[in-house]
Amino acid sequence: MEIIEVKEPGHVKAFHKVPFLIYKDFKNWIPHLKQDIEKIFDPEKNKAFRGGEAKRWILKNDKGELIGRIAAFIDPKYYKSFKQPTGGIGFFECINDREAAFLLLGTAKRYLLTKKMKAIDGPINFGEKNEYWGLLVQNFDYPPTYQVNFNPPYYQTFFEEYGFKVYYEQYLFWRDLKRDADEVFQRKAAMLWKDPKFKVTNVKGYSDQQLAEYFLAVYNDAWGKHEGFRAMKYEQALKIMKAIKPVKDVRITLFAFYEDKPIAFYINLPELNQIFKHVNGNLNLWGKLKFLYFKKFVGSTTMYGVVFGVIPEFQGHGVEGAMLKFGGINIIGHTPYTDTVITWIGDFNVKMLKICKNLNASLLRKLYTYRLILDEDIPFERAPFISGSKEDVDEIINGLMPLEENMSKYGK
């Protein structure tokens, strides 16, 4: 076998070809857009290169056939959040061959050791956590969600036999929009609706600048206590609002206010993979034309909840239920959306997991973020829980309505 560092245009092309070989027999697989992936490895477009670096490799067998790929990266803003310098690996794809997988993982490991990393997290993104983060370990039949990792079941064996341990679990949830929230949520929401100082609205008529300010205020307050949290700046918030603008549906992006102060947001986008599945992973000119056609004449019936947040002062006061009620009145029957996928929530975020349970959502998928300790003097420690415990998480997850029953009941 031959491992080759990606340095030339031909190598880049091969890097993007590997998944099409791995998933040729996966009928539900939808490829990531190669343009999205290339932005991550472009120093001009990815701010993680400011102080960080990344390398990619492809793997060929003795016949010269492509059989795998991997990327490794260091981002000082990421690894400085932990007790030890921690690098990352991602975009791993490999045929079902242990030797090939270990060669890829070993190549990434040796590179990160030369950079004095003492631990490796993976598979993760060289950038924000909302994209390409985690290894899928449950539900390989449901079509992949846009920019969420998808992989064959055997990858789990490769990672764990190599020595990776679960640093935290990630959960994606599914919910029918017609389904009522838990009674407690409904009661608290009803009380909140009576308060004239409180309001929920979609973002029709709001500028990108206004939305960036609202988003920034809630985000920094709501996530301030999370491990590794870095306060967002206005420029970054504005960049996010501008980035989602081409695909944003103003009817399904919601903000809540109290005394005109933003206290919560629920950023939804159309599930783009329902459209991107027609472009075969390439948003070139022809792909863009197909995207515009299917967006206009087919569209999406599923919303994707990209991020949801409530500032600590209003958590547990019914804000979630009030936003849900607003959505039920203004989205159901007035838009094509019938269900929603809620983006991944780490098992360390017990409060948010409770919210999903009270929304009567079902577990759609489970992913793992792994960690490999490279220094034998450093003990492995699982990600700390923000609130609650592993027992609380197990109780929440085990208490959810099974996905099959939920979808069957609502005719999915």
What is the C-alpha separation between 327 and 95, in angstroms, rounded?
A: 43
Q: Do domains 2-170 and 179-337 have the same CATH topology?
A: yes
Specify the long-range contacts of residues 230-235, CB closer than 8 Å, at least 24 apart: 230/77, 230/81
Beta bridge mates, 307: 267
Q: How far is CA 59 from CA 55, 160, 210, in A?
A: 14, 21, 47
Interval 286-309: pLDDT, tens: 888 888 888 887 889 999 988 888
Interval 368-410: pLDDT, tens: 999 999 999 999 999 999 878 999 999 999 999 888 887 865 4
Interval 161-193: pLDDT, tens: 999 999 999 999 999 888 877 777 778 888 888
Interval 140-153: pLDDT, tens: 988 899 999 999 99
Architecture of domain 179-337 in CATH? 3-Layer(aba) Sandwich (3.40)
Assign a CATH topology to domain 2-170.
Aminopeptidase (3.40.630)
| Phi, psi angles (nearest 5°) of residue 217 | -65, -45
Contact 257, 263 (CB under 8 A): yes
Q: Where are the beta strands (DSSP E) in 109-248?
A: 119-122, 135-138, 165-176, 198-202
Q: How far is CA 124 from CA 129, 184, 190, 405, 406, in A?
A: 8, 36, 40, 32, 30
Look up the pTM and report it: 0.90
pLDDT at 253 over 90: yes
Domain-wise residue ranges, the chain: 2-170, 179-337
Predicted confidence at residue 410, as pLDDT, reads 47
